[in-house]
Amino acid sequence: MRTGRLCLTCCAAALLAAAAATPPADAIRVINKGFSGRNSRDALKLLDAEVLPLKAQHAVLFFGMNDAMNSANLLPLGQFETNLVTLVTRLQAGGARTVALVTIHPVIEEYVRARHPKHPQRDTLQSHLAAYDQAVRRLAQSRRLPLVDLRAWVERNGGAAVAPDSPLRCEANGGGRDGVHLTPAAYAQLGRLAHEALASHVRPGETVVCFGDSLTFGASVKGAGTATGETYPAALQRRFEGAP
């Protein structure tokens, strides 16, 4: 009899734990679909397999850094812009009512040049990257899409500097010679900016997919590849849950 009572107690505890782990039906779900090293051409290949099957009502699209900066995966500006238009069009056709775009922040040129010594624009990296950012802005304006202006926030908060309070990972803040990826605090801010752009569009019970490269994946921070921890999708999830 004692064993039976213990089994019933264990079953009840398991059921309670399962119920606690199951989000309510009206919970907003954020999904991290970040893929390190990928450019907008790769994104088109990933769209069918990784993103459209989710049937998300909303998407945050953040590509361009690898198209412009990664010498192993560069794409011409015109091709990037065409790919971005195609991604937005296909996301909308796949059921996304809202597609928000993220602007492309400046980088610490010294670090990027060291990692990509054969980059064809190595002497003008910042202006080269800015042209890709302008392509994002043009599309947002022409399609009237929500714009998550990460670039403006980075420029107002130290920019691409090697400093302890830099929003970019660097030697001065323990991030090494990175200069591209964000600090946990900057990822948290990106989550807040994304929430500001999406909040009026998202209804209870809907899904938001964050689709991008390693900046979406959350390279070098806790919870990388998920919507938990220090990634920007995690910060966005917490905002939808009511966290400050």
Question: In this predicted structure, what is the pLDDT of residue 3?
Answer: 53
> What is the tens place of the pLDDT at every residue in 188-227?
999 999 999 999 999 999 999 999 999 999 999 999 999 9
Helix 184-198 and helix 232-240, axial crossing angle in degrees, nearest 10: 50
Cα–Cα dist 28/233, whole Å: 12
Q: Which residue has the tokens 């947002």?
A: 140
CB count within 10 Å of CB 243 equals: 10
pLDDT at 7: 54
Sequence spans of domains, the chain: 24-240
100 strand-pairing partners: 60
Backbone angles phi, psi at 161, to 5 degrees: -115, 150
List the one residue out of 44, 55, 63, 74 whose CA is nearest residue 212.
63
pLDDT digits (tens, 9 = 90+) for 16-59: 444 445 667 889 999 999 999 999 999 999 999 999 999 999 99
Q: Is pLDDT larger for residue 5 or for residue 114? A: 114
57: amino acid identity, one letter: Q
pLDDT by residue (tens digit) across 112-152? 999 999 999 999 999 999 999 999 999 999 999 999 999 99
Structure confidence at residue 217 (pLDDT): 98
The pLDDT score that the predictor gives to residue 5 is 54
Q: What's the confidence (pLDDT) of residue 19?
A: 44
Query: Does position 10 have pLDDT exceeding 70, yes or no?
Result: no
Domain 24-240, classified CATH 3.40.50.1110, yes or no: yes
pLDDT bracket for residue 178 (50, 70, 90): very high
Rg (CA), the chain: 20
Helices (DSSP H) in the chain: which residue ranges? Answer: 2-21, 40-46, 65-69, 77-93, 109-115, 125-143, 150-156, 184-198, 214-217, 232-240
Tokens of 196: 């500001």
Adjacency order of strands within the sheet including 147-148: 29-34, 207-212, 58-62, 98-102, 147-148
What is the reported pLDDT for 23? 62
